[in-house]
């Protein structure tokens, strides 16, 4: 074991969608200084609104004191340029589940984050961490997956995913960060497509979409079956809409690319919904309508 590392104080988050905002929020609630980077100023403003709304929900549900919510928001800065991440000790990438987009971010981070000991992490659901590490060049030993679950302020699990190139010390620091500073419950997961949880979850969601697509059962009955019969908190179709159908498709494609097994192949209905930009809750319509 290496000597106990100092706690991380300055965190960067790249991407302010569902997950990036959730990650930024839990970091700020843990008292960390957070910079969230989005593609432009309008997207950065949207991310700020999303975190503000989530903190307000926490207050109205009695989970958070108003002062704590205000302090958390004050700890977050929203920027349209990754150049703002120079002094970060940990950066967590949470952009769209697209390989090229993520490779571009890791290449950029390897040049903009100044400290050679800074950890560069990805919240990817399925893209091999070793590919992101390779894009980070000399920083490859500092790259690993830190895979949070949605909604981040609620769900305790974080998958810590080392690649073949990750330094043991970086794994230890990431575990200590997730457990000691964010009070999450980490597991170490293998660097294979889908890691541990999505390798199991995604085929299940795809099976439900196929069952619905083939007209074998209604969406409501599929979901009710799993909620009432298996005590799941929500059914697979509602869960796919919550995750985002573009993300489910992206993960399915990564899993299929790696394993070439039919159970991971994206069903045509999923592909058509994404082509139509019907992505689930985040666009107001997906497998269900939310309008
Ligand atoms: N949605 C889930 O339930 C879930 C759960 C775990 C992990 N993930 C993973 O988290 C990541 C993000 O997913 P999400 O659901 O938050 O997606 P999302 O579509 O809600 O948000 C993605 C955000 O990234 C931004 N972005 C894109 N390119 C960028 C760049 N170069 N720089 C800065 N920002 C950029 C977009 O503007 C968008 O706001 C994906 O890798 C996904 O697989 C998602």
How does pLDDT run across 133-182, given as a tens digit for each residue?
A: 999 999 999 999 999 999 999 999 999 999 999 999 999 999 999 999 99
SS3 100: helix
Instruction: State pTM to two decimals.
Output: 0.93
Q: Where in the chain is the domain with CATH 1.10.1040.10?
A: 197-282
Question: Is residue 126 very low, low, confident or very high in pLDDT (cuts 50, 70, 90)?
Answer: confident
Whether the bond between 274 and the residue before it is cis, its omega within 30 degrees of 0, is no
Q: What is the mean pLDDT of residues 179-207?
A: 97
Residue pointed to by tokens 């074991």: 1
Region 242-246: mean pLDDT is 97
Contact partners, residue 66, CB within 8 Å, separation at least 6:
59
Cβ neighbours of residue 110 closer than 8 Å, sequence gap 6 or more:
120, 135, 136, 137, 138, 139
The question of whether 261 is a catalytic residue gets the answer no
Beta strand ranges found along the chain (DSSP E): 10-14, 33-37, 76-79, 90-93, 119-122, 143-148, 157-162, 185-188
Residue of 97, 147, 163, 252 marked active site: 147
Q: Choose the catalytic residue: 122, 126, 163, 198.
A: 198
List where CATH 3.40.50.720 sits in the chain: 10-188
**Which has the closest alpha carbon to 173: 9, 34, 21, 19?**
9
Q: What is the mean pLDDT of residues 207-227?
A: 98
For 30-47, what is the mean pLDDT? Answer: 98
Provide mean pLDDT across the span 61-88.
97
Measured CA to CA, the distance from residue 288 to residue 201 in angstroms comes to: 20
Residue nearest atom 7 in ligand 1 by C-alpha distance: 125
Residue 269 clears pLDDT 90, i.e. is over it? yes
Residue 2 has pLDDT above 70, yes or no: no
User: If you average pLDDT over every residue of the chain, what do you get?
Assistant: 96
**In this predicted model, what pLDDT tens digit does every residue of 78-102 receive, in sequence order?**
999 999 999 999 999 999 999 999 9
> Which protein residues touch ligand 1 with a CB less than 6 Å away?
14-20, 37-39, 43, 94-97, 101, 105, 123-125, 147, 149-150, 243-244, 247, 282
Whole-number pLDDT of residue 28: 98
In angstroms, what is the span from residue 3 Cα to ligand 1's centroid? 34
Ligand 1 centroid, distance to 229 Cα (angstroms): 32
CATH topology of domain 10-188: Rossmann fold (3.40.50)
Q: What is the mean pLDDT of residues 218-223?
A: 98
Average pLDDT value for residue range 43-52: 98
Does the pLDDT of residue 233 top 50, yes or no? Answer: yes
Identify the active-site residue in 38, 159, 252, 254. Answer: 159
114 is catalytic: no
Q: Ligand 1: which of 12, 19, 148 to mutate, most ligand atoms within 8 Å of CB?
A: 19
* CATH topology (fold) of 197-282: 1.10.1040
9 part of the active site: no
Q: Is the pLDDT confidence value at 4 over 80?
A: no
Alpha carbons 53 and 38: distance in angstroms, whole number:
18
pLDDT in the model for residue 3? 60
Q: For residue 237, is pLDDT > 70?
A: yes
Q: Has residue 36 got a pLDDT over 90?
A: yes
In angstroms, the CA 21 to CA 94 distance is 9
Residue 1: pLDDT above 80?
Answer: no
Residues 6+ positions from 198 with CB-CB distance below 8 Å: 125, 126, 251, 255
């Amino acid at each position: 074991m290496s000597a106990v590392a100092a706690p991380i104080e300055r965190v960067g988050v790249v991407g302010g969608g569902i997950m990036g905002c959730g990650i930024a929020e839990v970091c700020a609630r843990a008292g960390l200084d957070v910079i969230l980077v989005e593609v432009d100023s309008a997207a950065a403003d949207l991310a700020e609104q999303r975190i503000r709304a989530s903190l307000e929900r926490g207050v109205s549900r009695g989970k958070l004191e108003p002062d704590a919510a205000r302090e958390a928001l004050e700890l977050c800065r929203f920027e349209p340029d990754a150049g703002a991440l120079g002094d970060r000790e940990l950066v967590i990438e949470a952009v769209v589940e697209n390989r090229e987009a993520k490779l571009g971010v890791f290449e950029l981070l390897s040049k903009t984050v100044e400290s050679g000991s800074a950890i560069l992490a990805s919240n990817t659901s399925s893209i091999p961490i070793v590919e992101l590490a390779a894009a980070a060049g000399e920083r490859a030993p500092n790259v690993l997956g830190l895979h949070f679950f949605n909604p981040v302020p609620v769900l305790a699990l974080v998958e810590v995913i080392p690649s073949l190139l990750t330094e043991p010390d970086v794994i230890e620091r990431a575990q200590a960060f997730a457990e000691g500073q964010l009070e999450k419950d980490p597991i170490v997961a293998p660097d294979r497509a889908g890691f541990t949880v999505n390798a199991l979850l995604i085929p299940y969601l795809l099976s439900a979409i196929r069952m619905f697509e083939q007209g074998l059962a209604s969406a409501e009955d599929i979901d009710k079956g799993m909620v009432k019969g298996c005590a799941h908190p929500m059914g697979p179709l509602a869960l796919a809409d919550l995750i985002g159908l573009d993300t489910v498709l992206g993960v399915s494609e990564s899993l299929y690319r790696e394993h070439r097994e039919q159970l991971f192949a994206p069903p045509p209905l999923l592909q058509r919904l994404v082509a139509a930009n019907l992505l689930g809750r985040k666009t107001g319509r997906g497998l269900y309508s939310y309008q």
